[in-house]
């Protein structure tokens, strides 16, 4: 899959998930192999241009994550264009526009999925950005706002006409959030109506599902979100299956090691970064604490002890400023 001048091999991408896909997690996923593109957590265009608080940090990445796409959100064409220039100046390979977030605090400001309700205005945003930068501009959208406003096929055509180099489509509406199922027939319809790459998303939690969607549909690539949180090896396994190789089984010990490495990377960052991620660490650790080995026995006490020690260290760093 090629997005503008950027080659994405394999055509599998890690979806942006706020509070989840930080640079540490993205690095580890890339190291496991099979992931052709990573996308940062969504970044406010306003905050990025003005350098508000920690906003620029959400767009930071490392060289080993390349190719990397920085996702921004907003609704003002001029500010979005300015933010795209900031992203380009940071050296990112792609700048992506969030038109899929259904969260009220984003949508109520006419950003995220709300932009899908104003196709002409959305096209103005993309047109302004495409004119402002040389790197590819892409769009992540949903099926539509609700069952009565499913307009992804039309919007995708408008995005292409405005200068978008690719679109990613999650086959649920904003009203559905993550309930129901992703409409891959609609995604196929979107892909058949444009000449730019279409990346499909939704309900790909197993390697075989990722491969099947790529091989059976009209999509050029597959975007994986929640499936990668529970199984960071999903891209490697999908790439193996797509190449006709047997995908290897990941042991509980490997999962524990991944979490330890993730925590170590966070602990190497600034204290406020650890603070911001501590709940996420706990959620991921909870999964690891309850997995079993190949014989169905609980994960070894040593691994669980080391994980708990790392969590305690992170908690201590989080609470240190309050005790000072």
Helices (H), strands (E): how many in the chain?
Answer: 13, 11
Question: Percentage helix, strand, coil, to 5, in the chain?
Answer: 50, 15, 35
68-73 vs 37-39, strand pairing mode: parallel
Closest by CA position to 31, among listed 69, 62, 71, 59? 62
Q: Two tokens at 312?
A: 């305690």
Alpha-carbon distance of 106 to 238, in angstroms, equals 33
Q: Two tokens at 90?
A: 């940071």
Inter-CA distances, 263 with 209, 306, 319, Å: 29, 11, 16
Catalytic residue annotation: 101
């Amino acid at each position: 899959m090629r997005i503008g001048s950027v080659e994405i091999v394999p055509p599998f991408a890690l979806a942006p998930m706020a509070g989840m896909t930080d640079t540490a997690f993205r690095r580890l996923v890339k190291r496991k192999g099979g992931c052709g593109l990573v996308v940062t957590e969504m970044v406010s265009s306003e905050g990025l241009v003005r350098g508000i608080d920690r906003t620029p940090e959400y767009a930071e990445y490392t060289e080993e994550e390349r190719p990397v796409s920085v996702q921004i959100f907003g609704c003002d064409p001029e500010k979005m264009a300015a933010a795209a220039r900031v992203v380009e100046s940071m050296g990112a390979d792609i700048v992506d526009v969030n038109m899929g977030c259904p969260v009220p605090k984003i949508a109520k400001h006419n950003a995220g999925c709300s932009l899908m309700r104003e196709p002409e205005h959305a096209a103005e945003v993309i047109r302004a950005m495409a004119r402002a930068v040389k790197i590819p501009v892409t769009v992540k959208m949903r099926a539509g706002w609700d069952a009565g406003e499913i307009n992804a096929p039309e919007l995708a055509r408008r995005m292409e006409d405005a200068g978008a180099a690719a679109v990613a489509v999650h086959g649920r509406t904003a009203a559905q959030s993550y309930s129901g199922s992703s409409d891959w027939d609609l995604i196929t319809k979107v892909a058949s109506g444009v000449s730019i790459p279409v990346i499909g998303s939704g309900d790909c939690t197993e390697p075989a599902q990722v491969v099947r969607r790529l091989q059976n549909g009209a999509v050029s690539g597959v975007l994986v979100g929640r499936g990668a949180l529970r199984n960071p090896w999903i891209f490697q396994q999908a790439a193996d299956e797509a190449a006709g190789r047997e995908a290897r089984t990941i042991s509980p010990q490997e999962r524990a090691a991944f979490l330890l490495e993730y925590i170590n990377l966070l602990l190497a960052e600034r204290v406020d970064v650890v603070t911001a991620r501590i709940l996420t660490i706990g959620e991921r650790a909870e999964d690891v604490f309850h997995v079993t080995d190949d014989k169905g026995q609980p994960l070894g006490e040593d691994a669980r002890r080391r994980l708990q020690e790392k969590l305690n260290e992170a908690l201590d760093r989080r609470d240190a400023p309050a005790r000072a």
